[in-house]
């Protein structure tokens, strides 16, 4: 069986179809978005968590947010592109890479998709258990400027996160811990490094994209440095849990195949059977059609039944009188 480059994750044994994958991805993202709304939490607790993170960073001399935020607020040529980067790229790059993997690296797609989705659900748990106020929503005394609001005239967003104007109430602005902007960017970087070939351009993009995203989330005052660290940690845990999730999904699919086989067969999730009639296996290998040995007998005709061929063979073998 072919293996993926993801440690501990085997290649899929099922034939995936885009019409089953697309609803699955939409469902996961809908759960993620709904969970962000439901997990708003208490604002005072979220502010306390944000201040506590900031104090920990200052104690550990990790507070890079302030100098970055001042620089990007002072220099529009940095701040405006950073706001566009934060508001749009994770909606564009991540789905684009999923489509690319599905089309060009189908054998590895299921494992990598499972890794991404598992990590996303872990991030949702973090939003629920630890609602956190981002730096931009702290009191002005803490010294942060919301660059999204500062440069709102340049983009489609308003003063409430990266949501379009008038839609800020549809997002949870206290879902800062962990930073899935950084987590998803890290996943994208790994995909580019693994499957993008050995060109310097791909390797550079694989490194630059997550690093720049980490800088952007801090410079725009949307996340703390420890949020970014937590985002990377969530991706690491998701990578370890992905094989377990895949095995659990396989068990559920096997049970469904027994109880409602027509539903599972129609979804394209059933492993393609190996057929000896010149068909392909699920791995794409072609099996030659098995030749009936009796066709080699004298007098045998293609398309005739085995019994007729046997009789023809006996007649051909009988000596002429």
Phi, psi of 164 (to 5 degrees): -60, 160
Which of 28-37, 112-121, 244-253, 256-265 bottoms out in mean pLDDT, i.e. has the lowest? 28-37
Q: What is the pLDDT of residue 282?
A: 42
Please give the pLDDT value at position 247: 94
Q: Is the pLDDT of residue 277 over 60?
A: no
What confidence tens digit (pLDDT) does each residue in 205-241 have? Answer: 999 999 999 999 999 999 999 999 999 999 999 999 9
Which position has the higher pLDDT, 171 or 256?
A: 256
85 Cβ contact list (under 8 Å, min separation 6)? 212, 213, 216
Q: Give residue 63's pLDDT.
A: 86
Tens-place pLDDT, residues 100-137: 998 898 889 999 999 999 999 899 888 888 889 999 99
pTM as predicted: 0.71
Q: Token pair for residue 137?
A: 């929503």
More confident residue, 299 or 190: 190
Q: For residue 175, what are the β-bridge partners?
A: 132
CB distance 214 to 229 below 8 Å: no
At 160, is the pLDDT very low, low, confident or very high (cuts 50, 70, 90)?
Answer: low
- Cα(213)–Cα(82) distance, integer angstroms: 9
The pLDDT tens digits for 27-38 are 666 666 565 555
Q: Are 231 and 123 in contact (CB under 8 A)?
A: yes
Whether 286 contacts 280, CB under 8 Å = yes
Give the confidence band of 242 by pLDDT, cuts at 50, 70, 90: very high
Per-residue confidence at 252, pLDDT binned at 50, 70, 90? Answer: confident
Residue 12, pLDDT score: 41
pLDDT tens-digit profile of 26-82?
666 666 656 555 555 568 888 999 999 999 999 999 889 999 999 999 999 999 999
pLDDT over 80 at 163, yes or no: no
Coil/strand/helix, residue 138: coil
Residue written as token pair 């004298």: 298
Task: Give the percent of the chain with pLDDT over 70.
Answer: 63
Decide: 301 and 309 in contact? Cβ < 8 Å.
Answer: yes
Asked if 124 and 116 count as a contact pair (C-beta separation under 8 A), the reply is: no
Cα end-to-end span (Å), the chain = 59
| Cα 190 to Cα 211: distance, rounded to the nearest angstrom | 12
Answer whether residue 167 shows pLDDT above 50. no
Maximum Cα interatomic distance, the chain, rounded to a whole number of Å: 117
Q: How far apart are CA 319 and CA 321, in angstroms?
A: 6
User: Which pLDDT does position 41 carry in this prediction?
Assistant: 56
């Amino acid at each position: 069986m072919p293996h993926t480059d993801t440690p501990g994750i085997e290649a899929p044994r099922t034939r995936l179809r885009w019409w089953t994958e697309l609803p699955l991805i939409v469902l996961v993202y809908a759960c993620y978005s709904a969970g962000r709304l439901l997990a708003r939490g208490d604002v005072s607790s979220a502010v306390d968590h944000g201040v506590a993170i900031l104090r920990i960073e200052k104690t550990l001399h990790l507070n890079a947010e302030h100098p970055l935020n001042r620089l990007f607020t002072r220099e529009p040529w940095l701040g405006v592109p950073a706001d566009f980067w934060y508001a749009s790229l994770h909606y564009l790059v991540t789905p684009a890479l999923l489509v690319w993997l599905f089309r060009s690296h189908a054998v590895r797609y299921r494992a990598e998709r499972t890794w991404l989705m598992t990590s996303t659900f872990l991030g949702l748990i973090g939003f629920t258990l630890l609602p956190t106020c981002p730096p931009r929503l702290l009191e002005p005394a803490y010294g942060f400027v919301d660059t999204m609001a500062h440069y709102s005239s340049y983009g489609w967003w308003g003063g409430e996160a990266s949501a379009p104007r008038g839609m800020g109430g549809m997002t949870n602005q206290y879902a800062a811990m962990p930073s899935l902007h950084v987590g998803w960017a890290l996943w994208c970087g790994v995909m580019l490094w693994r499957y993008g070939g050995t060109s310097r351009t791909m390797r550079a993009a694989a490194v630059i994209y997550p690093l720049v995203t980490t800088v952007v989330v801090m410079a725009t005052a949307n996340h703390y440095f420890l949020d970014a660290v937590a985002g990377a940690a969530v991706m690491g845990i998701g990578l370890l849990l992905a094989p377990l999730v895949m095995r659990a999904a396989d068990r559920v699919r096997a049970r469904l195949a027994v109880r409602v086989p027509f539903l599972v067969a129609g979804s394209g999730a059933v492993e393609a059977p190996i057929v000896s009639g010149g068909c392909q296996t699920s791995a794409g290998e072609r099996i030659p059609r098995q030749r009936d040995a009796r066709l080699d007998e004298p007098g045998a005709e293609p398309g005739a039944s085995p019994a007729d061929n046997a009789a023809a063979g006996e007649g051909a073998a009988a000596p002429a009188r």
